[in-house]
Amino acid sequence: MRWIVDAMNVIGSRPDGWWKDRHAAMVRLTTQLERWVVAEDRQVTVVFEKPPSPPIGSEVIEIAAAPRGGANSADDEIVRLVQADPRPQEITVVTSDITLAERVREAGADVCPAARFRSLIEQAG
């Protein structure tokens, strides 16, 4: 199973002050995802609204971003990734965005709510 994570939806699922330093929150999420991937042997793509600046790298998860920032830019990129995959039924998209959830289900993927997923990755480390 492959996971595609709506990064800012997961980050925003808990009011922990992430908005004070968005980049640091993005790095924290990436680190949590890396631990989870190693512990659970998963394949994960995390999608940001725009390319992080400074860039965030990882050797165990794929980091993607919408080609341009803007309203729903990450959502559009996530839908594009699902539609481009030859086996969308093997993808779970992590989001609590109702419209995005409907779009990826129509494309054949499953959905996991952001808060539930955040609990899963926090248990890994």
Q: Render pLDDT for 75-123 as a digit per residue (tens, 0 to 9).
A: 999 999 999 999 999 999 999 999 999 999 999 999 999 999 999 998 8
What pLDDT score was predicted for residue 16? 85
> pLDDT, tens digit, for every residue of 34-62?
999 999 889 999 999 989 999 999 999 99
Instruction: Count how many domains the chain has.
Output: 1
Mean pLDDT of 20-34: 94
Label residue 125 by pLDDT band (50, 70, 90): low
Range of the domain at 15: 2-123
Label residue 68 by pLDDT band (50, 70, 90): confident
Can you give the CATH number for the domain in which 34 is found? Answer: 3.40.50
67 pLDDT more than 80: yes
What pLDDT score was predicted for residue 14? 84
Task: Transcribe 48-116 into DSSP letters.
Answer: ESS--SS----SSSEEEE-SS-STTHHHHHHHHHHHH-S-GGGEEEE---HHHHHHHHHTT-EEE-HHH
